[in-house]
């Protein structure tokens, strides 16, 4: 499942809603990313995330398909926010659901690496007196 949204989300609710659909889930690995208060030794005030939504859905579907080929997954959840986010706000949730932990761990990391490096989201970070567009890296 892929969700691209401005609204905040509840990690436990989101994972629970998928977990209760499948009794075969034995492992869930999740990653939640937050807005930090400091980046490159500079105090961060907020970030603005922009997204090309149609392309993002297509690219995230592709990465989930790749993950399903490499690992035995029951389901996958990606939630990525956009818009103006303040320090400590949640940005992203990736959760991999599988029967066994290895598939869950490795696929979650694989998907998150893709999101950090190649997904069509752009981050403009705001500091005390300036702002800066960040380059996507792992």
Q: Cβ(64)–Cβ(43) under 8 Å?
A: no
**CA gap 130, 118 in Å, rounded:** 25
Residue 52 CA, distance from chain mean position: 15
Tell me the residue length of the chain: 138
The predicted-structure confidence for 55-100, as pLDDT tens digits, reads as follows 999 999 999 999 999 999 999 999 999 999 999 999 999 999 999 9
Alpha carbon distance 12, 90 (integer Å): 13
Query: What is the helix (H) or strand (E) element at residue 64, kind and residue range?
Result: helix 53-70
What predicted TM-score, i.e. pTM, was given to this entire model? 0.93
Q: How far apart, in whole angstroms, are the C-alpha atoms of residue 98 and residue 107?
A: 10
> Which CATH number describes the domain made up of 2-133?
3.90.1170.40
Tell me the mean pLDDT in the region 127-137: 82
Other CB atoms closer than 10 Å to residue 129's CB: what's the count?
Answer: 6
Task: Give the domain ranges of the chain.
Answer: 2-133
What is the average per-residue pLDDT within 18-28?
97
Q: Which residues are within 8 A (CB) of 123 and not within 5 positions of it... i.e. 6 or more apart?
A: 47, 48, 49, 133, 134, 136
Q: What is the DSSP string of 45-57?
A: -EEEEEE-HHHHH
pLDDT digits (tens, 9 = 90+) for 97-126: 999 999 999 999 999 999 988 888 999 999
């Amino acid at each position: 499942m892929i969700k691209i949204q401005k609204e905040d989300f509840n990690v436990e609710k989101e994972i629970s809603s998928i977990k209760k659909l499948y009794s075969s889930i034995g492992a869930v690995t999740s990653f939640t990313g937050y807005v930090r208060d400091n980046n490159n030794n500079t105090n961060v005030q907020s970030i603005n995330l922009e997204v090309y939504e149609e392309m993002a859905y297509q690219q995230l579907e592709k990465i989930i398909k790749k993950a399903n080929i490499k690992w035995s997954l029951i389901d996958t959840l990606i939630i990525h926010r956009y818009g103006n986010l303040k320090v400590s706000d949640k940005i992203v949730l990736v959760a991999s659901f599988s029967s066994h932990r290895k598939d869950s761990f490795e696929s979650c990391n694989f998907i998150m690496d893709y999101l950090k490096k190649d997904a069509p989201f752009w981050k403009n970070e705001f500091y005390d007196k300036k702002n800066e567009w960040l380059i996507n890296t792992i």
